[in-house]
Structure 1
């Protein structure tokens, strides 16, 4: 039996690297995981990010600035700190102010997958990651869906989770002071990856790879400090936790593909669960 080297984490410090795409008024950094792509764009007013025939839905998060999002004969004017789901097909995101726009696509956006800075990390196809299988279509059909994040803040959780048919985003609440080092949350995922997008502040990501029978395959723990904007991809099976280490606003967004069953099985946790059914065998009782 051939033993594979453990998959490395991706640490993409976008603020110190060149973008993968440049168009009029827009500079875009692309970072992939096995099942999805994160596109972070610094934009000027009038910049257009267009998809002629995207095969499935994608997310648009307006961090700073604003955008007019058009698809399927509809449009939405999205302000800062909002999230929009864009339907399959042709779409257009036009910046209405200077700022930062984040789009999250599934692996079916193959042109973006291939253009990602870390595409070579997945040359083997990532067999340890479960395949991307879409959940049921939304009963009301594919259309623009828009969410003002402030409307979903809750006192009992720092999570704001949204899903599509094959993606999930957890827009965590901002942290104003460094995280308590005695209250961290190390955990791992058996067969899926997590991308952590830092949009404000500085974080330390700590990762620990499992041991195998072959000691030559062991990896040292990693504790990587990274600023914003940045994308870190935690491999499947790797124990990880993150903590903000800077003062002031610190903001982290976690991304998954496909949607997580454990989150989806908790009643009321997914903010738009009523719009996106779960697969029948996994429906919560």
Structure 2
């Protein structure tokens, strides 16, 4: 599954797959966020906004936390809650506590928001809502992880505070409901001789392309009913886009643009296997495991 120098090769899930349930396997989804700015997976809604200076983005009154993914192209902004104002002006992850909040935008660029899929203010907005008219039987439903430590409030996790480390897999943060992994920028295409096909037992992966272009290679395992077998997929998609990869498909993604390529992986609920690796989750002190 992984090369020996890939940090994921030491994960418990890399060597201990579960017995197969035999349930239907969902199809992968490839979503251009310029055409479909609000999309969902089973447990999370992703909203991509091409913000402009002076915009006032209403997040609604949420039952769970809001996560804001801030990239190098994102504008500065201020998060406004009943408890005050928090300015953000560099890439990273921002976590807003439950309740009412707004975002006052101070420049032009993309902002990505994550909310739980059951949020009343959001659940009817996704362009692909029909794909989840029924829960996917192979995907574990969200159960929020424990309350964060300390006083409630807006939490800001800048990437500048945590340099890349080859011993970790990306830069990972988690909330009660989400896990976000900022993967390193890939300059030029990925070496086709060094891909990492793998699968997940019971969670979806949202691969958010924020720069460049990717080819997502996805293979659906054969079940006993051959009428539902699928051909292997090798789908090229640019940015901004999100590819929703269902379990237990075998998948790997390859940067294909000659310039800068970057993926951000999103999971809901947070991944246990990543969380069990010491030092991988960078805000683990704030967000304890169950």
Say yes or no: TM over 0.5. Answer: yes
Structure 2 residue corresponding to 1:59, chosen from 45, 57, 67 = 67
Q: How has the CA–CA distance of structure 1 residues 158 and 173 changed in structure 2, closer, same or farther, with 3 Å as cutoff? A: farther
1:112 deviation in Å?
2.2
Contact 2:80/2:103 (CA < 8 Å) preserved in 1? yes
Partner secondary structure for residue 113 of structure 1: coil
Match of 1:14 among 27, 33, 48: 33
Partner-residue secondary structure (3-state), 1:112: coil
Partner of 1:172: 183
State how far apart, in whole Å, the 1-side matches of 2:278 and 2:84 are.
31
Q: CA deviation at 1:6?
A: 3.1
Q: How big is each residue's C-alpha offset from its partner over 1:193-244, in whole Å with a ceiling of 9 and x where there is no partner?
A: 0001101100011101010111111111101000000011001111111110
* CA RMSD across the alignment: 1.5
Map of 1:42 onto structure 2: 50
Does structure 1 residue 140 correspond to structure 2 residue 127? no
Encode CA deviations 1:158-186: one digit per residue, 9 max, x unaligned: 50100011111001111112111111111
Query: Which residue of the partner structure matches residue 86 of structure 1?
Result: 96
1:196 maps to what in 2? 207
Structure 1 unmatched ranges of 5 or more: 20-28, 280-285
Size of the alignment, in residue pairs? 266
The alignment's TM-score, normalised by the length of structure 2, stands at 0.88
SS class of match (2:25):
coil
**Structure 1 residue 122 displacement after superposition:** 1.0
Give me the whole-angstrom Cα distance separating, in 1, the residues matched to 2:262 and 2:137: 31
Match of 1:222 among 217, 233, 254: 233
Using the TM superposition, name which of 130-139 and 110-119 deviates more. 110-119
**Scaled by the length of structure 1, what TM-score is found?**
0.89
Is the CA contact (8 Å cut-off) linking 2:25 and 2:248 kept in structure 1?
no
| Residue pair 1:72, 1:87 contacting (<8 A) in 2 also | no
Distance 2:161 2:246 in 1: 32
Distance 2:159 2:125 in 1: 30
CA contact (8 A) 2:60 2:100 kept: yes
Contact 2:92 2:156 in 1 (8 A): yes
How far apart are the structure 2 equivalents of 1:10 and 1:34?
12
1:86-128: per-residue Cα shift (whole Å, max 9, x none)? 1100111111101110111112324423211111111121122
Separation in 1 of the partners of 2:222 and 2:165?
A: 39
The aligned residue for residue 253 of structure 1 is: 264
Q: Distance in 2 between matches of 1:92 and 1:44?
A: 15
Secondary structure at 1:185's aligned position in 2?
Answer: coil
> Matched residues in 1 for 2:191 and 2:77: separation?
36
Contiguous gaps of at least 5 residues in structure 2:
1-21
CA contact (8 A) 2:77 2:87 kept: yes
Q: After the TM superposition, list the runs of 4 or more consecutive aligned residues in structure 1 that deviate by more than 4 angstroms.
A: none
Which residue of 142, 153, 159 maps to 1:149? 159
